[in-house]
Amino acid sequence: MEESHVAQNKLLELLDVFRDYTKTGRVANQIIEKLSTKLAYYSATLANASQQATKTLK
């Protein structure tokens, strides 16, 4: 249950960054770093989920 709250908070933070980008049309350097970190996290999470699904289906 704790993990789902953490994941949800991280996703909300990511959405907040995109919302700011759409309002201003630019992303500040500190936001770019934060966004890059979050994208790397979600990319790794999706890769892990995909690997688990593949293992489950085999």
pLDDT single digits (tens) 29-52 = 667 777 888 888 888 888 888 888
Predicted confidence (pLDDT) per residue in 13-23, tens digit: 888 878 877 88
Sign of CA dihedral 4, 29, 40, 37: negative
Q: How far apart are CA 22 and CA 11, in angstroms?
A: 17
Contact 31, 20 (CB under 8 A): yes
Sign of CA dihedral 42, 46, 51, 56: positive
Q: Which helix (DSSP H) or strand (DSSP E) does residue 58 occupy? A: none
Q: How far apart are CA 58 and CA 21, in angstroms?
A: 41
pLDDT given for residue 10 in this prediction:
81
pTM over cut 0.85:
no
Eight-class DSSP state of 27:
-
